[in-house]
Copies of this chain bind each other. A is one copy, B any other.
Amino acid sequence: MRAKTVGDVGERRLIALIRAAFPARGRNVLLGIGDDAAVIRPGRAPAILTKDLLVENVDFYRSRHPAYYVGRKSLAVNLSDIAAMGGTPLYTLLGLGWPGDLPLLWARNFLRGFRDAAEDSHTELIGGDISRAREIVISVTAIGEARSIVRRGGAKPGDGIFVSGTLGDAALGLALMERGAVLGRSRVRNAVLKAFLDPQPQIGLGRELARGRIASSMIDLSDGLSVDLRHICEESGTGAEIDLQAIPFSAGMRAYGGDRTLDFALHGGEDFQLLFTVPPERAKADLLKAAAGRFALTCIGRIRKDKGVFGIDAAGRRAPIAARGYEHFKA
């Protein structure tokens, strides 16, 4: 017996299914799923809006990315953009392009993942659109707010460069999966695979860094350190120097990274940790210390006046770091 597909169910019942999975909650949502558009009460703080597209066989592969985690991740990557501004995410819109022969089970698991991630982040799905497509397309819009925001372009020479968490795990996780690894009993390996499958947007940290006016610039690590740091430098008109010895690695990276460790950390994308800069006078502030206590922050370098991004190795040698993160359109 053939498994039921979304084509068997049809558009109307799919929308009903989504509507049922995402009951309206927020009192500021005047009109949620089910009309021509959603309507929300205006906030007092500036609104933050972002949108990220996930395409099958580009951003994920159905064969190795369980639908539940595709659902979680498609929300997470958008929330990460809001975290990188220092904002609080509130609402989402979900656009779905689904092949007619997509198993209904895949659709259900995807929606379950998206809903769980929405609950984790206290965000509410308020609308969207569904269409047929040859490959799965997921287009999420996230709406948040923030009283104070942190841009990419505020870094100054002398500012310390900080990252949250550990670097390169998502790229390592993807590499392990490409060699056949799946979620199993090894806690260390699972953590690496989860870094790729189920990244955690750093919303609390981003908000704290913005509210406390600790960070002078901030970006989320989606393309990889070498590319994302360059974004900060370009928008700030500066260069940067990274102490390669200082880059934080996970237990999984130490176990499986081998001689690609530094490559994963510098050029591996999708960690969705925060990369931010802190002026020297604020680096010792109690607020940063408090944040560092809760969020695992590491100073990995310093913003320089001279353009270019450089790494300094254990022997003290200084060499340029090429921008080699993920680039769509280049095979």
Question: Which A residues fall within an 8 A CB radius of B?
Answer: 6-7, 9-12, 14, 30-31, 34-55, 57-59, 81-82, 84-85, 87, 91, 93-98, 100, 126-135, 137, 139, 141-146, 149, 151-153, 218-220, 235, 327-331
Contacts and interface: CB of A to CB of B under 8 A. Distances in A.
15 contacts: A9-B329, A31-B151, A35-B152, A36-B85, A37-B142, A39-B47, A39-B146, A41-B47, A51-B127, A53-B137, A55-B132, A95-B139, A137-B137, A137-B139, A139-B139
A277 to B, nearest CB: 15
CB-CB nearest 4 A-B residue pairs: A37-B50, A139-B139, A36-B84, A53-B95
Given A46-B42, A51-B128, A36 B152 contact: yes
Contacts of A128: 51
B11 A85 contact: no
Nearest to A227: B12
Given A6-B329, A129-B52, A37 B151 contact: no
A129 B131 CA distance: 19
B7 A330 contact: yes
A57 B141 contact: no
B55 A30 contact: no
Determine which residue in A35, A38, A131, A142 has the highest number of CB atoms from chain B within 10 A of its CB, and name it.
A35
Given A35-B151, A36-B84, A219-B36, A53 B134 contact: no
Given A34-B235, A132-B328, 8 more contacts: A7-B331, A11-B330, A12-B327, A37-B49, A37-B84, A39-B146, A53-B96, A59-B131
A133 B137 contact: yes
Contacts of A93: 49-51, 141
A66 to B, nearest CB: 21
Nearest to A45: B42
A37 B52 CA distance: 10
A75 to B, nearest CB: 14
A39 B41 CA distance: 17
Given A37-B48, A42-B45, A327 B10 contact: yes
